[in-house]
Amino acid sequence: METENIVEIKDLYLNFYTYDGVVKALDGVTLNIKKNEILGLVGETGCGKSVTSLSALAIVIPPGNIEKGQIVFHASNKNFDILSLDEKDLTKLRGRYISMIFQEPRAALNPVYTVGEQVAEIYFHHRKEEMINKVLTELEEDLKKASGLKRSIYKRDLSLYKKMLENPKSLSLRIYSKIPILRRFQNRMKKVAKKEIIELLKLLNIADPPRVVDMYPHELSGGMAQRVVIAMAIACNPYMLIADEPTTSLDVTVEAQILYQIKELQKKFNTSILYVTHDLGVVAEICDRVAVMYAGSVVELADVMTFFKNPTHPYAQSLLESIPRPGKKFVSIPGTVPSLVNPPKGCRFYDRCKYALEMCPTTKPKLLEVEKGHYVACHLYGE
Residues of this chain that bind another protein (CB under 8 A) = 19, 44-45, 221-224, 251-257, 259-260, 278-285, 304-305, 308, 318-320, 322-333, 336
Nearer to another protein, 77 or 336 (CB): 336
Q: Cβ distance 176 to 188 under 8 Å?
A: no
Residue 71 beta carbon to another protein: minimum distance, rounded to whole angstroms? 27
Give the residue with the Cβ less far from another protein, 137 or 221: 221
Radius of gyration of the chain (CA): 25
In the complex, the smallest distance separating the C-beta of residue 103 from another protein, rounded to whole angstroms, is 13
Q: Which is nearer to another protein, 180 or 324 (CB)?
A: 324
Nearer to another protein, 89 or 371 (CB): 371
Is omega for the bond preceding 63 within 30 degrees of 0, making it cis? Answer: yes
Q: Which amino acid is located at 57 in the chain?
A: L
Q: In angstroms, what is the minimal distance from the CB of 322 to another protein?
A: 5
By beta-carbon proximity to another protein, the closer residue of 160 and 292 is 292
CB of 329 to another protein, least distance (A): 7
Q: Which residues pair with 371 in a beta bridge?
A: 374
Closer Cβ to another protein, 192 or 262, answer by number: 262
Give the Cα-Cα-Cα angle 105, 51, 62 (nearest 5 degrees): 95
Report, in Å, the least distance between residue 282 CB and another protein: 5
Nearer to another protein, 169 or 328 (CB): 328
Residue-wise burial string across 317-332, b where 16 or more C-beta atoms lie within 10 A, e elsewhere: bbbeeeeeeeeeeeee
Per DSSP bridges, beta strands 297-303 and 374-376 are: antiparallel
- Minimal distance, residue 281 CB to another protein, in Å: 3
CB of 182 to another protein, least distance (A): 40
The least distance separating another protein from the CB of residue 31, rounded to whole angstroms, comes to 20
CB nearer to another protein: pick between 45 and 147: 45
Task: List the one residue out of 24, 11, 31 whose CA is nearest residue 300.
Answer: 31
Minimum Å gap between C-beta 152 and another protein is 50
Residue closer to another protein, measured from CB, 123 or 350: 350
Cβ at position 268, least distance to another protein in Å: 15
Q: Which is nearer to another protein, 138 or 279 (CB)?
A: 279
Distance in angstroms between the alpha carbons of the first and the last residue of the chain = 31
